[in-house]
Amino acid sequence: MHTPRQLGQTLRGQRKSQKLTQKDAAKVVGLLPKTVSKLELAADTATVESLFKLLSALQLELVVRSRSPEVRDKEW
Protein backbone atom coordinates (compact mmCIF):
# COMPACT_ATOMS: atom_id res chain seq x y z
CA MET A 1 0.00 0.00 0.00
CA HIS A 2 1.12 3.51 -0.70
CA THR A 3 -1.31 5.98 0.90
CA PRO A 4 -3.02 6.52 4.26
CA ARG A 5 -6.35 5.86 2.58
CA GLN A 6 -5.18 2.45 1.38
CA LEU A 7 -3.95 1.70 4.91
CA GLY A 8 -7.34 2.56 6.36
CA GLN A 9 -9.16 0.45 3.80
CA THR A 10 -6.85 -2.48 4.49
CA LEU A 11 -7.33 -2.21 8.24
CA ARG A 12 -11.10 -2.07 7.84
CA GLY A 13 -11.11 -5.03 5.47
CA GLN A 14 -8.97 -7.11 7.82
CA ARG A 15 -11.18 -6.25 10.79
CA LYS A 16 -14.35 -7.14 8.93
CA SER A 17 -12.86 -10.38 7.59
CA GLN A 18 -12.28 -11.37 11.22
CA LYS A 19 -15.92 -10.48 11.99
CA LEU A 20 -14.90 -7.89 14.56
CA THR A 21 -16.73 -4.65 15.23
CA GLN A 22 -14.72 -1.51 15.85
CA LYS A 23 -15.69 -1.85 19.50
CA ASP A 24 -14.45 -5.46 19.64
CA ALA A 25 -11.10 -4.63 18.04
CA ALA A 26 -10.64 -1.58 20.25
CA LYS A 27 -11.37 -3.50 23.45
CA VAL A 28 -8.67 -6.10 22.78
CA VAL A 29 -5.88 -3.52 23.06
CA GLY A 30 -7.41 -0.71 25.12
CA LEU A 31 -8.34 1.69 22.32
CA LEU A 32 -11.58 3.62 21.99
CA PRO A 33 -13.85 2.59 19.11
CA LYS A 34 -13.55 6.14 17.73
CA THR A 35 -9.78 5.60 17.46
CA VAL A 36 -10.34 2.50 15.33
CA SER A 37 -12.74 4.52 13.19
CA LYS A 38 -10.15 7.29 12.85
CA LEU A 39 -7.52 4.80 11.70
CA GLU A 40 -9.88 3.34 9.12
CA LEU A 41 -11.17 6.66 7.77
CA ALA A 42 -8.21 9.02 8.20
CA ALA A 43 -5.12 6.98 9.03
CA ASP A 44 -2.88 9.98 8.42
CA THR A 45 -4.34 11.72 11.50
CA ALA A 46 -3.91 8.82 13.93
CA THR A 47 -0.88 8.15 16.09
CA VAL A 48 1.69 5.51 15.29
CA GLU A 49 1.03 4.00 18.73
CA SER A 50 -2.67 3.58 17.91
CA LEU A 51 -1.78 2.03 14.57
CA PHE A 52 0.44 -0.56 16.22
CA LYS A 53 -2.21 -1.34 18.82
CA LEU A 54 -4.81 -1.95 16.12
CA LEU A 55 -2.36 -4.07 14.15
CA SER A 56 -1.86 -6.13 17.30
CA ALA A 57 -5.61 -6.50 17.85
CA LEU A 58 -5.98 -7.77 14.29
CA GLN A 59 -2.96 -10.08 14.57
CA LEU A 60 -1.15 -8.15 11.80
CA GLU A 61 2.38 -6.87 11.45
CA LEU A 62 3.90 -3.96 9.59
CA VAL A 63 6.58 -4.82 7.03
CA VAL A 64 8.68 -2.07 5.47
CA ARG A 65 10.49 -2.67 2.20
CA SER A 66 11.95 -0.68 -0.66
CA ARG A 67 9.52 0.47 -3.30
CA SER A 68 9.72 -0.85 -6.81
CA PRO A 69 11.10 1.64 -9.35
CA GLU A 70 7.69 1.92 -11.05
CA VAL A 71 6.05 3.28 -7.89
CA ARG A 72 8.75 5.55 -6.48
CA ASP A 73 7.85 8.70 -8.36
CA LYS A 74 4.07 8.23 -8.53
CA GLU A 75 3.02 8.72 -4.90
CA TRP A 76 2.68 11.90 -2.86
pLDDT of residue 11: 97
How many folded domains does the chain comprise?
1
Find the CATH number of the domain harbouring 43.
1.10.260.40
- What are the tens digits of pLDDT across the range 6-61? 999 999 999 999 999 999 999 999 999 999 999 999 999 999 999 999 999 999 99
pLDDT of residue 5: 95
List the domain range (segments joined by +) for residue 17. 4-72
**Residue bearing the bigger pLDDT, 69 or 23:** 23
Dihedral of the alpha carbons of 18, 19, 23, 27, in degrees to the nearest 10: -40
Relative orientation angle of helices 22-29 and 48-57, to the nearest 10 degrees: 100
